[in-house]
Amino acid sequence: MPELNRSRKIWIYLPNDYNTSNQKRFPVIYMHDGQNLFDAVTSFAGEWQVDETLTSIQQAGGYGTIVVGVDNGGSSRINEYSPWVNTQYGGGEGDLYIDFIKNTLKPHIDQNYRTLIEPQNTGLIGSSMGGLISLYGTLKYPATFGKAGVFSPSLWFARTQLTDYITGKNFTNIPLKFYFIGGTSESVTLVADMQMVRTALINTGVESQHINLLTHTDGAHSEWYWRRKFGASYQFLFPAPYFSTSTANINNKADFRFFYNKENRSFSINGLQTQNVPFKIFTPDGKIIRQGIINDSEHQIILRNLKQGVHFVRFQLIDGIITRKLMIE
């Protein structure tokens, strides 16, 4: 960590198909308190089960995501997780810590792994002080981090400085997304603080539908609570094509027929046996380039404007998803 003149262990979770998909690129989530993400043995008080959760989601039709976990520094944790100083508890190194992730760690990950590098494909997620620094990192570098999972955030640590910082921002037409959760009994001010930040973000131009704020009466300042909500936060922050609501992959459905006509660049389908089926066409790196609704009576979908190369078509049926490879010559 040259910005802080320290070293830190980094954990990397790779999607199920990373080693079998040669061209596919993946979104990336950077998470704090790496000791607590994947392994109960290294955790402080239980793990998040990030790997098990994302593996299951991908098996159910999700796109797949890389997770980069950064170990906390023990005694330096509080200092690194706040850019502002709390006279009682410390802080003040948060800018250098986020600069490390942006300027040193992310370039290394992007150079050595098949990543989608855009802000809409890059998120920060953390809890407690890690929630505070995840929020701050997105506010400071919206052109790098477009999504933040803010779990039981320690907003009290620098409440005034944070609100002043948000007030000075303008996020109009910047597609940021935030996911807040907290237990109603975690602290006297947690829920009010999250609501205050949500209002402040909306006032800066963040669209309200891109801010999900959930409170739970049984929520606790604990890994088991954050583990329980991690999957839901991922689904909100990284929606389709990263996640499908399907419960199964049914690519071997016998009565489904997919035909591509290269002469007029169209595809035909038979065997849907239902009406109003959503379809999406993706590039190998997961970018949606066409989407719409089809039914079994519409025999041709014209694709004349698509570029040459490999594409994938995904159909969302009631009982699962069907994906077909599409080579446009």
Higher pLDDT, 239 or 169: 169
* pTM of the full structure: 0.75
The CATH number of 257-328 is 2.60.40.3080
Q: Is 235 helix (H, G, I), strand (E, B) or coil?
A: helix
In angstroms, the CA 171 to CA 141 distance is 11
Judge contact between 35 and 47, C-beta under 8 A: no
Q: What value does the mean pLDDT take over residues 298-322? A: 68
Q: Does the pLDDT of residue 57 top 80, yes or no?
A: yes
Average pLDDT over residues 88-96: 97
In sequence order, the β-bridge partners of residue 314 are 280, 323
Going from N- to C-terminal start, the domains of the chain cover 10-237, 257-328
Cβ atoms of residues 114 and 145 within 8 Å: no
Task: Report whether pLDDT(60) > 60.
Answer: yes
User: What single-letter amino acid sits at 205?
Assistant: G
Q: Can you give the pLDDT at residue 244?
A: 43
Q: Which fold has domain 10-237?
A: Rossmann fold (3.40.50)
pLDDT of residue 24: 87
Kindly list the distances between the CA atom of residue 7 and the CA atoms of 73, 97, 98, 105, 205, in Å, as whole numbers in the listed order.
9, 12, 15, 12, 37
Range scoring the smallest mean pLDDT among 167-171, 249-253, 258-262 = 249-253
Instruction: Tell me what pLDDT residue 245 has.
Output: 40
